[in-house]
Structure 1
């Protein structure tokens, strides 16, 4: 897939415009969106991603479109898992509901910047060293095992890192969020940072960790940097509204970690098989490709990911419903 410079430029301009509109909406009227508003925006962004995939199909063929849809679905599911940690961060720092949109939007901007850097670095590594797929594959399998050990999402999924602890200890922090800005002037005239700064540091460092998981996963589906980038963009856009739309439903997705663990392990194995197929390491099969290593087609990857996420979601909702009924009977 050959993507010209003007296509990249047009994509980046469109991204900036959408983010600017989001910033204007949040900046002018900080509020907690209604279910109808959040649902409308989520439907808009999902429709935009589906339409973009159709455009890729028309201009670049079914293979590229399949890679985009599979990559977008994978990144979107990982983004939903990220929301669990965002919920914990908001609760841990007692962020007022009317300011949570601002936190999420800035977090999304930070995530886009970080993932853009990781995508550029990953594409450069892959073009020069095909063996990097061995590392990506092993890392994804390790991440899958870690997810399984964590079990259900709880507050243990978020721990304050050294940067957050240092900021809370070394910086003059007010006890009030004031108007939701990073700084405020106290009654004595002293300039103070608001807790919003700590929240932004928590979101930013969390985004960095998420990027380490998601970028190897998407490169296991497509090696085209443009598709990797756009799949990430569409997965992150609308995440702010999805946070408010899902609300309490997040707590009911008790098997999401298991589903995501299986998806990451599947992509990790896929990467390892691809690395064997294109092997250039001298100590493996004399530096030649291992011909018995199968290549998993994109349609099969899409079916596996869709099926796994669907089963995990349905099983989660069934279990949550049964648990609620048991609690009602006991009461």
Structure 2
């Protein structure tokens, strides 16, 4: 992990944020003005485009700032991309729970990505400030990721219960809610009264989940680099492709039965990396650090192994089904055919 902060100009920050906002605006306009079913061909084209944008940025960044920061960006991007697949699981569950019509899922995903980026930007600023002031934050982040990894592995075969999410339950009680989606509007007037549609509740659920996911993803990428610009870029470009990735792999998600196990291993590895980083800086310089390039190899191998193993497993046992995992055990009395307990990620 680089110790010295990169000299990123205000103009570079402004252009990067501007490109991200522009791409999000295009997504939002398309989702709002042309609700439609996103087919495999369209999803593939958008996915290739966003990966190309991310790789193109990484190449430019490497050429301008060196191979070290460039490697950190690509490792951070890979980490965030792998964690974003777990986001997709939860998005699928939210869409199913609220029976979101197919033509409105594009809009929901785009709003979800906007909310995720805003929350991550806040956590990045907070995390960077804490790391610059207190080096023991590396230790706290490392312990948090290891705890998350253990809990995720223990409850790797569970799903979140969106209906029991405290924010969703409160919203149902206090907001005047309609039964229909009303053409994808968030608010409608009925008998002179302003009411919210189920789509608003979907965005509340996704926003809550995005906040909890940020608590994992930001410490994870800070385990790769302490550069706020790299952390932001890795998160932004990984999330930009999330909408297209959803439509591309939604039929494949159920087959990734070992993904939660793989993510638990990755989070534990990065947690150990952060703890070693803290020990090297604050305890003894002889404590070894884990090189960024080794992190890239480990993460890539874990993702490859769990993907291949998952596909082999589901081919042999078609009844096997993947779950996003949870940090909290299922509530007592909640059976397999009931909705599972609330996710706290």
Q: Same fold (TM over 0.5)?
A: yes
- Structure 1 unmatched runs, 5+: 280-288, 327-331
Question: What is the Cα deviation at residue 159 of structure 1?
Answer: 5.7
Are 1:170 and 2:174 matched, yes or no?
yes
After TM superposition, the score normalised by the length of structure 1 is 0.93
Question: What is the Cα deviation at residue 70 of structure 1?
Answer: 0.1
Are 1:317 and 2:320 matched, yes or no?
no
Aligned residue number for residue 69 of structure 2: 64
Are 1:35 and 2:29 matched, yes or no?
no
* 1:25-74 alpha-carbon deviations (Å, 9 max, x no partner): 11110112110000110011011111111111110111011000000000
Given the superposition, is the C-alpha separation of residues 159 and 192 from structure 1 closer, same or farther in structure 2, using an over 3 Å criterion? closer
Residue aligned with 2:7, SS: coil
**Distance in 2 of aligned mates of 1:51 and 1:160:** 42
Residue aligned with 1:184, SS: strand
Are 1:259 and 2:262 matched, yes or no?
yes
Residue aligned with 1:278, SS: helix
- Counterpart pick for 1:278 among 281, 286, 295: 281
**Distance in 2 of aligned mates of 1:104 and 1:23:** 9
Are 1:307 and 2:271 matched, yes or no?
no
* 1:110-130 alpha-carbon deviations (Å, 9 max, x no partner): 000000000000000000101
After TM superposition, the score normalised by the length of structure 2 is 0.89
Residue aligned with 2:195, SS: strand
Contact 1:85–1:157, Cα closer than 8 Å, also in 2:
no
**Distance in 2 of aligned mates of 1:101 and 1:211:** 22
- Counterpart pick for 1:193 among 186, 193, 196: 196
Give RMSD over aligned pairs. 1.3
Given the superposition, is the C-alpha separation of residues 269 and 158 from structure 1 closer, same or farther in structure 2, using an over 3 Å criterion? farther
Aligned residue number for residue 23 of structure 2: 18
Contact 1:263–1:308, Cα closer than 8 Å, also in 2:
yes
Residue aligned with 1:302, SS: helix
Question: What is the Cα deviation at residue 325 of structure 1?
Answer: 8.9
Report the structure, 1 or 2, having the larger helix content.
Answer: 1
- Counterpart pick for 2:247 among 244, 248, 261: 244
Aligned residue number for residue 3 of structure 2: none
Q: How many residues align structurally?
A: 315
Residue aligned with 2:27, SS: helix
Are 1:147 and 2:141 matched, yes or no?
no
- Counterpart pick for 2:228 among 225, 240, 243: 225
* 1:215-249 alpha-carbon deviations (Å, 9 max, x no partner): 00000000000000000001100111111110220
Alignment of 1:54-203 (within 5 A): 54-152=59-157, 154-156=158-160, 158=162, 160-186=164-190, 188-203=191-206
Given the superposition, is the C-alpha separation of residues 144 and 207 from structure 1 closer, same or farther in structure 2, using an over 3 Å criterion? same
Displaced runs of 4 or more, over 4 A:
none
**Distance in 2 of aligned mates of 1:65 and 1:177:** 45
